[in-house]
Copies of this chain bind each other. A is one copy, B any other.
């Protein structure tokens, strides 16, 4: 994963939270994750493929997921239900979707988001991938974004054979 690929995801996250949720978020770090680590309470994952392929993994503290759903749907939520799951999936989809427009050369297409719920679940990329991890904070609580993206072998082959 090349560091230059991460900026579109940072900008997209700030933008989606601002425009969709009227919520200011701030990135508090950037690390390379190589080992198991627990995620927050609810996590959205979406795959991307094209001339590169990879995944975006966004893990939310329960408080962030509930507040985001309340803001979008105008109803109070006290537990992680279908609406909260759909909101997390949709936020994951929007953040990846916005970012891909800044990575046009990879002609990325998105898979469907899936959402994982469970205490102490951990999520791993294949060991050959070194995903970058971005912690964010907001008034609602914390969330974390991991992006692992590598150039596709077909593309490397095309360069070699061309």
A residues adjacent to B (C-beta < 8 A): 36, 45-50, 53-55, 57, 82, 85-86, 89-90, 109-127, 129, 148, 150, 152
In the assembled complex, how far is the CB of residue A124 from the closest CB belonging to chain B, in whole angstroms? 5
CB neighbours of A122 from chain B (8 A): 116-118
CB neighbours of A116 from chain B (8 A): 116, 121-124
In the assembled complex, how far is the CB of residue A99 from the closest CB belonging to chain B, in whole angstroms? 14
Q: How many copies, total?
A: 2
CA A45 – CA B129 in complex, angstroms? 15
CA A112 – CA B46 in complex, angstroms? 10
A126-B55 in contact given A116-B116, A119-B118, A150-B112 (Cβ < 8 Å) = no
User: Is B118 a contact of A124 with CB atoms below 8 Å?
Assistant: no
- Select from chain B the residue with minimum beta-carbon distance to A50: B109
A124-B115 in contact given A47-B47, A47-B55, A110-B53 (Cβ < 8 Å) = yes
User: Is B123 a contact of A114 with CB atoms below 8 Å?
Assistant: yes
In the assembled complex, how far is the CB of residue A73 from the closest CB belonging to chain B, in whole angstroms? 13
CA A57 – CA B113 in complex, angstroms? 12
User: Is B111 a contact of A53 with CB atoms below 8 Å?
Assistant: yes
In the assembled complex, how far is the CB of residue A38 from the closest CB belonging to chain B, in whole angstroms? 8
User: Is B112 a contact of A109 with CB atoms below 8 Å?
Assistant: no
CB neighbours of A114 from chain B (8 A): 45, 55, 57, 123-125
